[in-house]
């Protein structure tokens, strides 16, 4: 059960963030409206939402998920894998220190929270362009000290693990095709996202509700069968910056 969320306002420079998408330049006013609608859903679900100001000079900083991993016991401050995003994590330390003891991922480790999938007290940690084995081990050791288990997962193509695999509760995963038959996920009920709708894999479970990006009918139809309430959100502008619903908050 999550009670808190932390988010950060996108700044007017948000279009200068890192991206590999060819969907065009995003619009600030539209981004702000979509971000506001997202925060409204988090509040509707009963979360206390702390919204931090934009961080000048860090256009990707509203993707707060990447700078920390927060569990019931500890907040692990990451060391972002992209050079351009280093420093975002510093401003999160005092914020999280009010909620949890904090520990840090140390060099040469790199870790992005987008690579960390929490399923109950087990954590899958993607090894990706952004997260290396030293970073994964640093996180895994911090988690293990509090009785959690973890396993590394090779991400291959795609930005982060959660670009391709997400949890819809503790027993069900939503995955893209390349991850369907991975032995790591064999014990879970698995719902496949088609290649045409890969982006919809970034669906966010919060306290028995699902937040899904709008515009992905095939994935929506499959997920609807779970019978959970679904909140559809327009994420067109974050998508242009390679971001989605999980990236824009920390939940704990
Ligand atoms: C980046 O490339 O780092 C940002 N433009 C997007 C980060 C998205 N974060 C996430 O999926 N957790």
Q: How is the chain split into domains, by residue range?
A: 4-251
The catalytically annotated residue of 35, 58, 148, 247 is 247
CB atoms within 10 A of CB 116: 27
Half-sphere exposure of 122 (CA within 13 A, CB side): 13
Give yes or no for a cis peptide into 108 (omega within 30° of 0).
yes
Is the shortest distance between the CB of 238 and ligand 1 below 6 Å?
Answer: no
Concatenated DSSP letters of 190-214: EEEEPGGGGGGG--EEETTEEEEES
Best mutation site among 14, 131, 165, 242 for ligand 1 pocket (most ligand atoms within 8 Å of CB) = 242
- Which tens digits make up the pLDDT trace of 189-222? 999 999 999 999 999 999 999 999 999 999 999 9
Distance CA 148, CA 130 (A): 23
CA nearest neighbour of 232 among 249, 251, 215, 250: 215
**CA of residue 125 to ligand 1 center, whole Å:** 16
Q: How far apart are CA 227 and CA 229, in angstroms?
A: 7
For 7, phi and psi rounded to 5 degrees? -135, 170
**58, 67 in Cβ contact below 8 A?**
no
- Give the residue-averaged pLDDT of 46-59: 98
Question: What average pLDDT does this structure show over 131-135?
Answer: 98
Looking at residue 157, what is its pLDDT? 86
Q: State whether the beta carbon of 242 lies less than 6 angstroms from ligand 1.
A: yes
Catalytic residue among 35, 58, 160, 231: 160
- The overall average pLDDT reported for the chain is 98
For residue 36, pLDDT over 90 is answered with: yes
Q: Is the CB of 10 under 6 A from ligand 1?
A: no
179: its two tokens? 């991850």
Fold annotation for 4-251: 3.75.10
Q: What pLDDT is recorded for position 90?
A: 98
Q: What is the pLDDT of residue 146?
A: 97
């Amino acid at each position: 059960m999550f009670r808190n969320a932390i988010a950060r306002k996108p700044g007017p420079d948000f279009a200068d963030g890192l991206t590999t998408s060819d969907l065009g330049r995003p619009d600030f006013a539209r981004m702000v409206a979509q971000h506001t609608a997202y925060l409204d859903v988090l509040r509707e679900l009963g979360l206390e939402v702390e919204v931090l100001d934009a961080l000048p000079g860090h256009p990707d900083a509203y993707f707060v998920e990447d700078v920390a991993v927060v569990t019931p016991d500890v907040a692990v401050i990451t060391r972002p894998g992209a050079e351009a995003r280093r420093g975002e994590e510093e401003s999160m330390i005092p914020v999280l220190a009010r909620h949890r003891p904090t520990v840090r991922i140390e060099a040469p480790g790199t870790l992005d929270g987008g690579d960390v999938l929490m399923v109950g007290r087990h954590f899958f940690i993607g090894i990706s362009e952004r997260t290396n084995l030293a970073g994964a081990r640093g996180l895994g050791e911090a988690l293990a000290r509090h009785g959690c288990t973890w396993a590394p997962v090779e991400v291959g193509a795609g930005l982060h693990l959660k670009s391709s695999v997400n949890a819809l509760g503790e027993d069900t995963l939503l995955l893209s095709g390349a991850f369907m038959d991975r032995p790591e996920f064999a014990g879970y009920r698995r719902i496949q996202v088609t290649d045409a709708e890969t982006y919809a894999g970034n669906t966010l479970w919060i306290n028995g509700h699902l937040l899904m990006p709008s515009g992905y009918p095939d994935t929506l139809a499959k997920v609807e069968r779970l019978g959970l309430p679904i909140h559809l959100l327009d994420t067109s502008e974050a998508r242009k910056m390679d971001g989605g619903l999980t990236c824009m908050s920390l939940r704990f």
